[in-house]
Amino acid sequence: MDIEERLNSLKNIQEVDVPPFLFTRIQQGIKDKKKKSVPMPWRWAFAASGLLILALNLSVFYNQVITKERTNISTLASAMQMTNSNDLYNEQN
C-alpha cells in the first residue's frame, strides 16, 4: 500500500454521533477522581514506615563504619607488630 492510498482511506471515516453532555460527564469524572485523597491513617502509617526505614538504614550504616574502623585499627596494629591492648608491660595474672 502506498501512502496516497492510506491517506485516501481516511476519507471514508464517518463522524460518530456523540451523546449529549458526554464532555461534561468526562470532566466531572476527572474532578471526582481528583477529590479522592488518601485517608489520614494511611498517611501517618506511610510517614511512620518511612521514618522506621530511615532509622534502620542509619543504624546499619553507623554500625558498619564503627566495625570497619575497629578492623582498620587492628590491621594497622598487627602490621606494625603492636598490641592493641592497654595492658602495661603485658602483665598476665
Per-position pLDDT tens, the chain of length 93: 688 888 888 888 888 888 888 999 999 988 887 777 788 999 999 999 999 999 999 988 888 777 767 777 777 777 777 766 666 666 665
- The answer as to whether 19 is a domain residue is no
- The answer as to whether 24 is a domain residue is no
- The answer as to whether 71 is a domain residue is yes
Count up the domains in the chain and report the number.
1
- The answer as to whether 54 is a domain residue is yes
Range of the domain at 43: 39-81
- Please write down the HEC assignment for all residues of the chain: CCHHHHHHHHHHCCCCCCCCCHHHHHHHHHHHHHHCCCCHHHHHHHHHHHHHHHHHHHHHHHHHHHHHHHHHHHHHHHHCCCCCCCCHHHCCC
- The answer as to whether 57 is a domain residue is yes
- The answer as to whether 47 is a domain residue is yes
